[in-house]
Copies of this chain bind each other. A is one copy, B any other.
Amino acid sequence: MAEASPALLSALREVSEEIDRQFDALLPVPDDARANLYKAMRHAAIGGGKRLRPLLVSATARLFGVDRVCIARTGTAIEAIHVYSLIHDDLPAMDDDDMRRGKPTVHRVFDEATAILAGDCLHALAFEILAEDETHGDPFVRVELIGALAHASGPSGMAGGQMMDLEAEKSSFDLATVTRLQAMKTGALIACAVEMGAILGRVPVEGRTGLRGYARDVGLAFQIADDLLDAEGDEALAGKKLRKDGDAGKETFLSLLGVDRAREQAHLLVDQAIEHLHQYGPEADVLRDIARYTLERDQ
């Protein structure tokens, strides 16, 4: 993260601490046969990760002066969905990964059954948080948040993209299909984070065009950067196994475009993302910094 701006660094730190605090409070280990289930959720959810999605919720919602408690709860909900998806994607039957965020994966520390259930529980927890009464007074807001998150994480979004990704090892996808796959697999939840910030800010749908354009471009740039990281990154810094796409013979932005054009494309997308924020002043600088940061990250 050497290249992150001081403002972004401070925002990243603040969001990370807040999300850790929230999960710590939500997941006290019970003194019964579910102890390992909670330990597994804590292992995956606390202390690690970039917290990009909660950061996007926060940076967007703050444009509209949203209350911090609402921001924190919403960020925790979307991060719970992200973490559940990582636990399930790492399973032997899926991507079969041993390391995640610099730690052994949940099914390695515990077992597969516990990992499946820990993922399922974080999935349910996300919606329970959003449905709770205290934090988002207005039920119209809560229902819109829930609808957006359920849609972005289901078969038309994240989980559908993961299914396509599993098929990608067997098929030979073209650039349009890889773009669609990635827009679903990672793009949908990243876009949802920005959307949730706008929903919290009570921005009407017709006022979200700029933010949606920003989110779409950042999501795609993030994925191209992920492909570059997979090909060129340092496993110790990344905290997970790299060089996987090439080994699996999967078509990616990189295999289809080559390193130079992929990098160029990512820079173009970041410029375009920032351009989408033209209606906002310096209060949107953290969003601009996040866009630039997608290309600089090493994890």
Question: Which residues of A line the B interface, CB within 8 A?
Answer: 32-34, 36-38, 41, 84-85, 88, 91, 93-94, 111-114, 116-117, 119-121, 123-125, 127-128, 130-133, 139-140, 142-144, 146-147, 149-151, 153-155, 159-160, 162-164, 166-168, 171, 173, 177, 181
On whether the beta carbons of A171 and B139 are closer than 8 Å, the reply is no
Cβ of A167: which chain B residues have Cβ within 8 Å of it? 33, 36
Q: Which of A130, A153, A159, A162 has the most CB of B within 10 A?
A: A159
Complex: A133 Cα to B146 Cα, angstroms: 11
Cβ of A117: which chain B residues have Cβ within 8 Å of it? 88, 159, 162-163, 166
Complex: A91 Cα to B167 Cα, angstroms: 20
Shortest distance from the beta carbon of A241 to any chain B beta carbon, whole Å: 18
On whether the beta carbons of B143 and A139 are closer than 8 Å, the reply is yes
Complex: A151 Cα to B129 Cα, angstroms: 9
Q: Is the interface of A mostly helix, strand, loop or mixed?
A: helix
Cβ of A162: which chain B residues have Cβ within 8 Å of it? 117
Complex: A149 Cα to B128 Cα, angstroms: 8
Copies of this chain in its oligomeric complex: 2
Q: Quick one: which of B34, B85, B128, B163 contacts A160, CB cutoff 8 A?
A: B34
Shortest distance from the beta carbon of A299 to any chain B beta carbon, whole Å: 25
Q: In the complex where A33-B171, A34-B164, A147-B132 touch, is A159 in contact with B120 (Cβ < 8 A)? A: yes
Cβ of A114: which chain B residues have Cβ within 8 Å of it? 163, 166
Cβ of A133: which chain B residues have Cβ within 8 Å of it? 147
Shortest distance from the beta carbon of A135 to any chain B beta carbon, whole Å: 12
